[in-house]
Structure 1
Amino acid sequence: MSIEFIVTTLVVVISPGVGALYTISAGLSRGVKASLVAAFGCTLGIVPHMLAAITGLAAILHTSALAFEIIKYLGVAYLLWMAWSTLRETGALSVETDRAPKTALKVIVESILINILNPKLSIFFFAFLPQFVPADTDGALGQMLGLSGVFMLATFVVFALYGLFAAAMRAHVISRPAIMTWMRRTFAAAFVLLGVRLALTER
């Protein structure tokens, strides 16, 4: 495993995106357990993209304008729904004190959907991994699986750290309604901006 792969992976994972945003919001609104579950779910959301890259489905997505546009706008719609739910206090930043909290399964499903509905991640795997696994190398499949595993591990660790930090700040945030309102609007705006950025993405 090359140092270039590790550095590039860390740069990609550390860069804030919708998965990190969701994990942070889970930590702020529901605490440590929810943030770790969200980090795990976001990591699981990488698996379909990894399988697509290995089986060649990512190549179809890369070359098919229709497939790309369908997945892209499903992702945009989901991000806008996340923004609306956040503003209505039923989404990512809903503080669950007087009502039943979200189940771990629901958090995982939401986390997975966030990453699945992102065609750029498939294209990233399709264009990124082959640079470190030459096609004529013996055991190329094993190497690709290994590098994908490293990418997933880095994703979980970094997202978990984001979430744990957010959970540590939770008591200082939820006790101040004005701050919660400001953060809810900020997170909703971030989801909208990510949706707009995804909508403007070209193959």
Structure 2
Amino acid sequence: MSLAFLLTSLIVVASPGTGVLYTLATALTGGARAAVAASFGCTLGILPAMAAAMVGLAAVLHTSALAFAALKWLGVAYLLYMAWQSLREQGALSVEAGQERAQAGLADARVIAKGFLINILNPKLSIFFLAFLPQFIASDDAHPLARMLELSATFMLMTFVVFVLYGLFAARVRDHVISRPKVMAWLRRAFAGGFALLGAKLAFAER
């Protein structure tokens, strides 16, 4: 596996985006366990894009304006919904300081599901797999599918690890943040604004 692939993937994964923003927001109010759940959900959201690239569906998304637009606007709508949820003190920012989760398993499942939706509704992810990964597969490779699986699995592992690190850092400062209502209010607005801006960026995205 080339160093160029690892470095490029790290830059892509570590760059602030919807997954990072969601993981940070969840970690600040849900703690370390919620951060891991959010990271896991965002990582799972890569699987459909990976599968689409392998069976050629990503090429359809890349060439079909209607398919791309449909998925894009679903993603925009979901990001705006996340912004609205943040402002209403629900979703990722709804847990109060010291509150214990009576149904931790169910709460984690919801966090994972939201993280999964954030990535699955991003059409750029499928195109990323279509345009990025093939560059690191030799034209004379005897097993291109196996090679793509290897690269995809590496990318997913890097995503999970980087997101967990982001989340654990946020969880460490959680007690200093949630005990200050004014700080929490500003954070809710900041996360809501972040989701809205990312939604706007996706709305203007081209194939």
The TM-score, its normalising length taken from structure 1, stands at 0.97
RMSD: 1.2
CA contact (8 A) 1:49 1:122 kept: yes
Question: Residue 161 of structure 1 aligns to which amino acid in structure 2?
Answer: L
Question: What is the aligned residue count?
Answer: 203
4+ aligned runs moved over 4 Å, structure 1: 98-102
Give yes or no for the alignment of 1:64 onto 2:68.
Answer: no
Q: Percent same amino acid at aligned positions?
A: 62
CA contact (8 A) 1:25 1:92 kept: yes
The runs of 5 or more residues in structure 1 that have no matched partner are none
How much does 1:92 deviate?
1.8
Q: Which residue of 1 aligns with 2:35?
A: 35
Q: Which residue of 2 aligns with 1:46?
A: 46
CA contact (8 A) 1:95 1:174 kept: no
CA contact (8 A) 2:71 2:121 kept: yes
1:150-199 per-position Cα deviation (integer Å, ceiling 9, x unaligned)? 00000000000000000001000000000000000000000000000000
Change (3 A) 1:57 1:135: farther
Give yes or no for the alignment of 1:153 onto 2:187.
Answer: no
SS of 1:31 mapped into structure 2: helix
CA contact (8 A) 1:80 1:191 kept: yes
1:102-121 superposed matches below 5 A: 103-121=107-125
**Distance in 2 between residues matched to 1:173 and 1:119, nearest whole Å:** 34
Give yes or no for the alignment of 1:8 onto 2:11.
Answer: no
**Distance in 2 between residues matched to 1:103 and 1:199, nearest whole Å:** 30
Question: Residue 4 of structure 2 aligns to which amino acid in structure 1?
Answer: E
Which residue, out of 168, 171, 175, partners 2:179?
A: 175
CA contact (8 A) 2:36 2:167 kept: yes
Q: Which residue of 2 aligns with 1:93?
A: 93
The TM-score, its normalising length taken from structure 2, stands at 0.95
CA contact (8 A) 1:27 1:164 kept: yes
Give yes or no for the alignment of 1:187 onto 2:191.
Answer: yes
1:136-155 per-position Cα deviation (integer Å, ceiling 9, x unaligned)? 41011110000000000000
CA contact (8 A) 1:27 1:35 kept: yes
